[in-house]
């Protein structure tokens, strides 16, 4: 082969790679896609938070105030990078580089939208999408359509105040569909599976309540898909987060989630966190015990839903920063809950490695793992570096899955 032919092939490969990237696909797909949830409440100035908490408030305030609540309890957890404003594109750029360098393919943003508009969208709109290196990482949305309660912090035995209802009107849902297609799905960095934008629903019961019946909900999802096709997309990959036991006070578990997934036509199922499936029976429940319980659930889930199941790996659990620090701490209901202990970076790496082994043993894909979480600091499940372990949890992800090209 002469030099001209080689040069032509190089140019052709680059052109093809750019075209694939422009469609939101990775020109060099990896055997397993690693998607980390991202909870965006670590920035000042969100209009809703300003009304409720004040101009400078963010959930960093709860992280700073956290204290040890029982013997052997480590609090506060201190971020190695400081208490940064995630809506700043320069701050988000460091997160993007760290995620890509350590083997994460996509951020799954916990995304909020109620009847009266969006919430916590600044880390996406002002931070991620305006970061200079946005092309290094994919992103997708998980609509966190649960009730938003005043638990920041929660006073023991006080009434649970509903701030924003998760249920929306059908008209709001249609506006949401138009918004996410126009402003997110068409972005070149939006994550797609087999060419279709990934969009996830956190709470199926709230989705049903929004339309009143399974049939009406299915029709709404079908309209959502049709809108995407009309916008030039090949369709949608709609994902359902399914869990066996609630965590937040207002959460409800569907009576037959597998039948609901089938009836609503979802393309895949995943989980948000291990403790949606494994009870924490001790104040400090051993990490490996929770892991083994979750792996048993995964074995059942693979044959239950009839669609691909994307397993989850959780870094930990400790929701005590969201509990009023002056109140006695016990297992009396969220955020006063038992914790996960012994979740060392080494054990986290072992959980990742076992998950990868199982995924590669599958006969067919897509092979996706979700991680809880990039930054659930007030729930004790984060990959971002802290002053105790540094980058060790991110290093564990890289060691198992390799860095992104």
How confident is the model at residue 16, as a pLDDT?
A: 36
How confident is the model at residue 22, as a pLDDT?
A: 42
How confident is the model at residue 4, as a pLDDT?
A: 43
Are the CB atoms for 300 and 357 separated by under 8 Å? no
Residue 337 lies in a domain: yes
Residue 251 lies in a domain: yes
Are the CB atoms for 244 and 277 separated by under 8 Å? yes
How many domains is the chain partitioned into structurally?
A: 1
The residue ranges of the chain whose pLDDT is under 70 are: 1-28, 245-252, 255
Q: Which of 188, 31, 35 is nearest to 99 (CA)?
A: 35
CA distances, 191 to each of 111, 186, 257, 329, 340 (Å): 15, 10, 25, 40, 31
**CA distance linking residue 55 with residue 202, whole number of Å:** 29
Q: Is the pTM of this model over 0.75?
A: yes
Residue 3 lies in a domain: no
Are the CB atoms for 177 and 168 separated by under 8 Å? no
Domain residue limits at 45: 32-401
Q: Which of 168, 264, 256 is nearest to 215 (CA)?
A: 264
How confident is the model at residue 24, as a pLDDT?
A: 46
Residue 15 lies in a domain: no
How confident is the model at residue 26, as a pLDDT?
A: 52
How confident is the model at residue 404, as a pLDDT?
A: 79
Which stretch of DSSP H or E encloses residue 146?
none
- Give tens-digit pLDDT for 320-357: 999 999 999 999 999 999 999 999 999 999 999 999 99
How confident is the model at residue 247, as a pLDDT?
A: 67
Q: Give the number of other CB atoms < 10 A from CB of residue 53.
A: 16
Residue 42 lies in a domain: yes
Residue 22 lies in a domain: no
Entry field: residues in the chain: 405
Residue 389 lies in a domain: yes
Residue 21 lies in a domain: no
The CATH number of whichever domain residue 249 belongs to comes to 3.20.20.80
Alpha-carbon Rg for the chain in angstroms: 21
How confident is the model at residue 243, as a pLDDT?
A: 87
CA distances, 131 to each of 95, 96, 119, 125, 325 (Å): 10, 8, 20, 10, 36
How confident is the model at residue 39, as a pLDDT?
A: 98
* Strand residues in 115-175 grouped as ranges (E): 117-119, 138-143, 148-149, 162-164
**CA distance linking residue 51 with residue 42, whole number of Å:** 16
How confident is the model at residue 145, as a pLDDT?
A: 97
């Amino acid at each position: 082969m002469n030099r001209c032919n080689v040069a032509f092939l190089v140019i052709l490969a680059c052109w093809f790679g750019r075209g694939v990237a422009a469609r939101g696909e990775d020109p060099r797909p990896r055997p397993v896609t690693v998607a980390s949830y991202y909870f965006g409440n670590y920035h000042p100035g969100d209009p809703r938070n300003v009304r409720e908490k004040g101009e400078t408030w963010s959930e960093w305030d709860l992280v700073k105030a956290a204290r040890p609540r029982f013997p052997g309890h480590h609090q506060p957890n201190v971020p190695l990078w400081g208490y940064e404003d995630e809506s700043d594109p320069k701050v988000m750029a460091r997160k993007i580089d760290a995620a890509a360098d350590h083997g994460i393919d996509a951020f799954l943003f916990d995304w909020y939208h109620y009847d009266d508009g969006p919430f916590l969208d600044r880390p996406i709109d002002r931070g991620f999408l305006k970061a200079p290196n946005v092309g290094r990482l994919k992103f997708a949305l998980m609509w966190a359509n649960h009730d938003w309660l005043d638990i920041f912090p929660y006073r023991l035995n006080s009434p649970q105040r509903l701030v924003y209802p998760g249920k929306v009107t059908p008209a709001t849902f249609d506006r949401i569909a138009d918004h996410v297609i126009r402003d997110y799905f068409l972005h070149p960095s939006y994550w797609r599976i087999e060419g279709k934008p990934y969009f996830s629903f956190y709470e199926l019961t709230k989705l049903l309540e929004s339309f009143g019946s399974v049939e009406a909900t299915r029709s709404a999802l079908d309209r959502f898909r049709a809108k995407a096709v009309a916008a030039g997309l090949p369709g949608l990959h709609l994902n359902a987060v399914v869990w066996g036991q609630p965590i937040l006070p207002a959460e409800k578990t569907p009576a037959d989630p597998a039948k609901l997934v089938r009836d609503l036509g979802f393309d895949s199922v995943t989980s948000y966190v291990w403790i949606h499936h494994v009870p924490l029976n001790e104040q400090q429940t051993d990490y490996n015990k929770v892991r083994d319980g979750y792996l048993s659930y995964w074995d059942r889930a693979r044959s239950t839903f009839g669609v691909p199941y994307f397993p989850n790996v959780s870094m930990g659990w400790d929701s005590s920063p969201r509990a009023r620090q002056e109140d006695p701490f016990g297992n009396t209901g969220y955020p006063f809950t038992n914790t996960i202990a012994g979740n060392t970076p080494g054990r986290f790496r072992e959980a990742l490695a076992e998950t990868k082994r199982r995924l590669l043993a599958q006969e067919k894909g897509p092979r996706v793992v979700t991680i809880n979480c990039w930054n659930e600091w007030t729930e004790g499940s984060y990959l971002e570096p802290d002053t105790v372990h540094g980058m060790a949890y991110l290093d564990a992800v890289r060691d198992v899955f390799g860095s992104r090209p």
